[in-house]
């Protein structure tokens, strides 16, 4: 299938282009970006022109930041195209619900992707936990924003979500592996004095679940989830690439490389089946944290 990639920036070049190039399902037929392009691929700078000029491209993959994404997705759906959304699927829950309604009415596929759910050991963790009683789950998600989003001011603008941009990856895994749903009960969010979104978040949920997100972390990142159950402890490390159950390690260190190839495989199946996959549970928890969280002022942040 022909596909167009929109918003040629960090994640498009790091992950989407290599995954599409290696895939037997997809042909990267065009890009649309105001500044970016991909060597050897037709490049548009105006989205409406691409939609009008290239009716044979039935699938649009949006790699933009969340705030501008709704407008592009709505135009693609109105033009009868199937749409794949980077995470988080939108800047608000309401716009995501609207997109789903629009896609249903237009009879096109819509896929809210959660790349961390495709990490190697996440399905195995979900299977192992399915029949366990979970006593506690703790997420420790720390990384350096200067390394992973260098100079990307949109992260600190309204709709950019701040530390929830990486934190929502952990929440996407949590909502996939927990055998029962939980809800947020309190949160403390630290906003740099000169920014609009938080740089750390301390979250408490029901049922013994908690999370610590820190974007000001220096050095090696920690992307860990520890689950205490009636049958022992399961820990996911490295964003779900490695799993340890009661001291026994499973999984490889390069287990994140399969995430985007699996997302595109899923999208190919979704389009073939004519389905919609819009699980908004991770975004719901983020929205709750902004609604319920205590806001504290932190030191100003500059790149
Ligand atoms: P990015 O490089 O800053 O943005 C991607 C591209 O989107 C930009 O190069 C820009 O291309 C276009 N864009 C930016 N603002 C726009 C606007 N207001 N209107 C239209 N186009 C705009 O960001 P990214 O790191 O790739 O992240 C994009 C999405 O991928 C985010 O939702 C993020 O959560 C997700 N993601 C990122 C990573 C990561 O490691 N960075 C990992 C996984 C997922 P032009 O200027 O050429 O139009």
Q: Over the stretch 260-285, which tens digit does the pLDDT of each residue have?
A: 999 999 999 999 999 999 999 999 99
pLDDT for residue 250 is more than 90: no
CA distances from residue 11 to 7, 14, 95, 100, 153 in whole angstroms, order as listed:
9, 5, 22, 24, 15
Nearest CA to ligand 1 atom 32: 65
Q: How confident is the model at residue 247 (pLDDT cuts 50, 70, 90)?
A: very high
Looking up tokens 């994404």 gives 69
Residue found under tokens 């995470």: 87
256 with 241: CB under 8 angstroms? yes
Q: Whose CA is nearest to atom 39 of ligand 1?
A: 11
pLDDT score of 253 more than 90: no
Q: How far apart are CA 38 and CA 34, in angstroms?
A: 12
pLDDT band for position 257 (cuts 50, 70, 90): confident
Flag whether pLDDT at 251 surpasses 80: no
Distance 285 CA to ligand 1 centre (A): 22
Q: Of 116, 12, 115, which is closest to residue 60 (Cα–Cα)?
A: 12
**pLDDT of 254 above 70:** no
Residue nearest to atom 3 of ligand 1 (CA): 152
Q: How many CB atoms sit inside 10 A of residue 196's CB?
A: 13
The CATH homologous superfamily to which domain 117-253+287-298 belongs is: Dihydrodipicolinate Reductase; domain 2 (3.30.360.10)
So what's the pLDDT on residue 281? 98
Q: How far is the CA of 287 from the centre of ligand 1 (A)?
A: 21
What is the overall mean pLDDT for the chain?
Answer: 97
Q: Where do the structural domains in the chain lie, given as residue ranges?
A: 2-112, 117-253+287-298
Strands 242-245 and 110-112: unpaired
Band of residue 1 on the pLDDT scale cut at 50, 70, 90: very high
pLDDT tens-digit profile of 16-70? 999 999 999 999 999 999 999 999 999 999 999 999 999 999 999 999 999 999 9
Which CATH number is associated with domain 2-112? 3.40.50.720
Average pLDDT over residues 152-175: 98
Measure 235 CA to ligand 1 centroid, in angstroms.
Answer: 31
The tens digit of pLDDT for each residue in 189-211 reads 999 999 999 999 999 999 999 99
Give 255's pLDDT tier (boundaries 50, 70, 90).
low
% of the chain beyond a pLDDT of 90: 97
Q: Catalytic residues, which ones?
A: 87
pLDDT, tens digit, 9 for 90 and up, residues 71-91? 999 999 999 999 999 999 999
**Token code pair at residue 244:** 């340890």
Spatial separation of the C-alpha atoms in residues 36 and 106, rounded to whole Å:
30
């Amino acid at each position: 299938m022909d596909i167009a990639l929109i918003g040629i920036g960090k994640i498009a070049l790091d992950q989407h282009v290599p995954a599409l190039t290696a895939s037997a399902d997809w042909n990267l037929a065009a890009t649309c970006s105001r500044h970016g392009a991909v060597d050897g691929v037709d490049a548009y700078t105006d989205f409406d022109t691409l939609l009008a000029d290239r009716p044979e491209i039935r699938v649009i993959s949006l790699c933009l930041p969340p705030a501008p994404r709704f407008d592009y997705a709505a135009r693609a759906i109105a033009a009868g195209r199937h749409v794949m959304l980077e995470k988080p699927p939108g800047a608000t829950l309401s716009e995501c619900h609207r997109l789903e309604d629009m896609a249903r009415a237009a009879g096109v596929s819509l896929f809210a992707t959660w790349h961390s759910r495709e990490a190697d050991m996440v399905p195995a963790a979900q299977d192992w936990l399915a029949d366990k009683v979970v006593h506690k789950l703790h997420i420790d998600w720390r990384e350096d924003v200067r390394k992973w989003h260098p100079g990307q001011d949109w992260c600190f603008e309204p709709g950019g979500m701040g530390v929830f941009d990486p934190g929502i990856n952990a929440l996407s895994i949590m909502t996939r592996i927990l055998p029962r749903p939980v809800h947020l009960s309190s949160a403390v969010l630290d906003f740099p004095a000169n920014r609009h979104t938080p740089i750390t978040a301390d979250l408490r949920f029901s049922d013994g679940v908690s999370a610590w997100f820190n974007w000001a972390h220096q050095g090696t990142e920690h992307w860990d989830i520890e689950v205490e159950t009636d049958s022992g402890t399961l820990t996911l490390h490295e964003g779900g690439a490695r799993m340890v159950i009661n001291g026994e390690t499973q999984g490889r260190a390069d287990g994140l490389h399969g995430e985007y190839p699996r997302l595109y495989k899923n999208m190919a199946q979704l389009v073939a089946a004519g389905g919609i996959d819009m699980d908004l549970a991770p975004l719901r928890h983020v929205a709750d944290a902004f609604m319920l969280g205590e806001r504290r002022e932190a030191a100003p942040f500059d790149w």
